[in-house]
C-alpha cells in the first residue's frame, strides 16, 4: 500500500513538472484516496455520505464558574478538585450566618405580629361596625342638643312666672332692708363698740346683701345672651356636625366589613414582613455556595479565611458524565445548509472512532475565527463511546447538509 501511494505521488510530481515547461495550463493534482480498510482512518458511519466538515471539541453538557454575590470572609471550603458532587451539595460557606439568623428571627416576629393584626381587623369587623353605628347615634344626639341650646339663646332665660317670683322676692328683700336701715338709724350715733349698734348694723348688712343678690339674679334673667355665648353655641354645633359626618363615613366604610384603608395598611405590612423574611432567608442561603447540578469539581479558587470579591469565580464545576460536541469553525457559507436534528458523523481523533450524532442547537449569532465568520453548533452523540473525555478534538461531517 505504501509503495502504491509513493508511486502515485511521484507520478504526480513528474507530470506537474513537465507541465511547467511543456504546457501553458497546469494539471490539477489527483485526489489521494486511502484504502477504506486503512487502520489510520476510522470506519465511517454506515449509510453516511461525506460532505460539509467542521472541527469541534468535546465539552461537558453543563459547566459552571460559580461565584458569590456578596463580599465576606470564607468560613469553610468543603470541596476539592476531582470531587464528585450531587446537586445541592455545599461547596463553600461564608461567615455572617449569625447576623442573618438574628434578622430572620426578627422578621418572623414581625410577620407574626402583622398576620395577627390583619386577622384581628377581619375578625373584629362586626364589632367595629356596631361601634361605628353607636358613634353615629351619639353624634346625631349631640348635634340635636347643640342646636336646641343655640335656639334657647334667642329666648328669655326663664318663664314669666319665675321672673314674677324673683321680682316679688326683691320687693320683700327691699322692705326688710328698709326696716333694717330704720333700726340701725336709732343706734347709729352710739359708740362703735356698742352692742345694740353692732347688732343693728349686722342686720342691715345682711339685708343689703340679700337685696344685691336678688337684684343681680333678676338682671341676669332679664338680659339676653351676649355675642360670646352665641359664638360658643355656634362652635358647639359645628363640632357636632363634623363628628356626625365622620361617624357617617365610618359607618359607610365598615358596612361591608373591615375598614378598607386599615385593611390595606395591614395587608401592606403583612406583605412587607413576608418580603423582609424572604430577603433575609435568601441572604443566609447566599452564604453557602451549592452545586447547581451533579458533576465534578474542576478547580477550587479560594480557601478558608480569604475575603471573597463579588463575581469572582470560586469553584468551577462540570458534568463530565454527560458530554457533547461543539463545533469551532463551521463557515457562514455552510450554515444555511445545516438544520437542527440533522444527523452527522463525528470523528473522535483520540479514539480513532466515528460515531453518529444529531444537531441539537445552532448559535443564532456568529463569531469570528482568524477573520472568518463562523457559527457554533452543538451535537448530541447517540452513543458516546467509552473513553470519551471533555476537551478531545473531533471532526464533524454534516454530510450534504440536507
pLDDT tens for the chain, 402 residues: list them. 333 334 333 344 333 443 333 333 333 333 233 344 444 557 666 656 668 999 999 999 999 999 999 999 999 999 999 999 999 999 999 999 999 999 999 999 999 999 999 888 888 877 877 888 888 899 999 999 988 878 767 655 667 788 889 889 999 999 999 999 998 899 888 888 888 999 999 999 999 999 999 989 887 777 766 778 778 888 999 999 999 999 888 888 877 777 788 888 999 999 999 999 999 999 999 999 999 999 999 999 999 999 999 999 999 999 999 999 999 999 999 999 999 999 999 999 999 999 999 999 999 999 999 889 999 999 999 999 999 999 999 999 998 655
**How high is the pLDDT of residue 32?**
32
CA torsion, points 195, 197, 198, 200, in degrees to nearest 10?
120
* Per-residue model confidence (pLDDT) at position 402: 54
H-assigned helices in 86-153: 97-123, 125-152
CB atoms within 10 A of CB 95: 16
168-173, long-range: CB < 8 A, 24+ apart = 169/214, 170/211, 170/214, 170/215, 170/218, 173/207, 173/210, 173/211, 173/214
Give pLDDT, residue 23.
Answer: 34
pTM of the complete model? 0.53
Cell representation of residue 111: 410577620
DSSP state of 73: B
d(CA 366, CA 368): 7
Q: Which residues contact 8 (CB under 8 A, 6 or more apart)?
A: 30, 32
Tally the C-alpha atoms within 13 A of residue 262's C-alpha that lie toward its C-beta. 15
> How far apart are alpha carbons 175 and 157 in whole angstroms?
27
Contact present, 243 and 132 (Cβ < 8 Å): no
What gap in Å lies between CA 214 and CA 277, rounded to an integer?
Answer: 78
Question: CB-hemisphere CA count at 13 Å for 238?
Answer: 6
Amino acid at each position: 500500500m505504501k509503495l502504491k501511494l509513493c508511486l502515485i505521488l511521484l507520478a504526480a510530481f513528474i507530470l506537474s513538472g513537465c507541465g511547467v515547461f511543456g504546457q501553458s495550463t497546469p494539471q490539477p493534482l489527483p485526489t489521494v484516496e486511502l484504502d477504506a480498510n486503512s487502520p489510520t482512518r476510522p470506519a465511517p458511519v454506515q449509510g453516511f455520505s461525506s460532505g460539509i466538515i467542521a472541527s469541534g471539541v468535546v465539552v461537558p453538557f453543563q459547566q459552571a464558574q460559580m461565584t458569590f454575590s456578596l463580599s465576606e470572609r470564607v468560613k469553610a471550603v468543603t470541596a476539592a478538585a476531582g470531587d464528585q458532587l450531587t446537586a445541592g451539595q455545599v461547596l463553600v460557606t461564608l461567615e455572617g450566618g449569625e447576623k442573618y439568623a438574628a434578622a430572620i428571627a426578627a422578621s418572623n416576629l414581625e410577620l407574626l405580629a402583622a398576620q395577627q393584626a390583619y386577622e384581628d381587623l377581619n375578625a373584629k369587623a362586626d364589632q367595629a361596625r356596631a361601634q361605628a353605628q353607636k358613634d353615629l347615634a351619639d353624634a346625631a344626639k349631640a348635634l340635636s342638643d347643640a342646636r336646641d341650646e343655640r335656639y334657647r339663646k334667642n329666648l328669655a332665660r326663664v318663664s314669666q312666672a319665675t321672673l314674677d317670683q324673683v321680682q316679688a322676692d326683691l320687693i320683700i328683700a327691699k322692705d326688710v332692708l328698709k326696716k333694717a336701715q330704720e333700726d340701725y338709724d336709732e343706734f347709729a350715733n352710739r359708740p362703735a363698740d356698742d352692742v345694740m349698734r353692732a347688732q343693728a348694723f349686722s342686720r342691715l348688712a345682711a339685708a343689703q346683701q340679700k337685696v344685691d343678690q336678688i337684684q343681680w339674679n333678676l338682671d341676669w334673667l332679664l338680659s339676653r345672651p351676649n355675642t360670646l355665648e352665641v359664638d360658643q353655641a355656634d362652635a358647639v354645633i359645628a363640632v357636632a356636625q363634623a363628628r356626625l359626618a365622620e361617624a357617617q363615613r365610618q359607618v359607610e366604610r365598615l358596612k361591608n366589613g373591615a375598614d378598607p384603608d386599615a385593611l390595606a395598611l395591614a395587608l401592606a405590612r403583612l406583605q412587607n414582613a413576608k418580603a423582609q423574611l424572604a430577603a433575609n432567608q435568601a441572604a443566609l442561603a447566599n452564604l453557602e455556595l451549592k452545586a447547581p447540578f451533579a458533576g465534578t469539581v474542576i478547580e477550587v479558587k479560594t480557601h478558608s479565611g480569604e475575603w471573597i470579591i463579588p463575581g469572582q469565580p470560586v469553584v468551577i464545576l462540570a458534568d463530565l458524565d454527560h458530554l457533547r460536541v461543539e463545533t469551532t469553525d463551521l463557515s457562514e457559507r455552510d450554515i444555511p445548509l445545516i438544520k437542527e436534528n440533522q444527523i452527522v458523523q463525528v470523528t473522535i481523533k483520540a479514539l480513532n472512532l466515528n460515531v453518529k450524532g444529531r444537531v441539537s442547537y445552532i448559535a443564532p449569532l456568529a463569531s469570528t475565527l482568524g477573520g472568518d465568520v463562523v457559527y457554533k453548533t452543538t451535537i448530541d452523540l447517540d452513543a458516546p463511546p467509552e473513553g470519551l473525555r471533555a476537551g478531545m478534538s473531533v471532526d464533524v461531517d454534516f454530510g450534504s447538509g440536507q
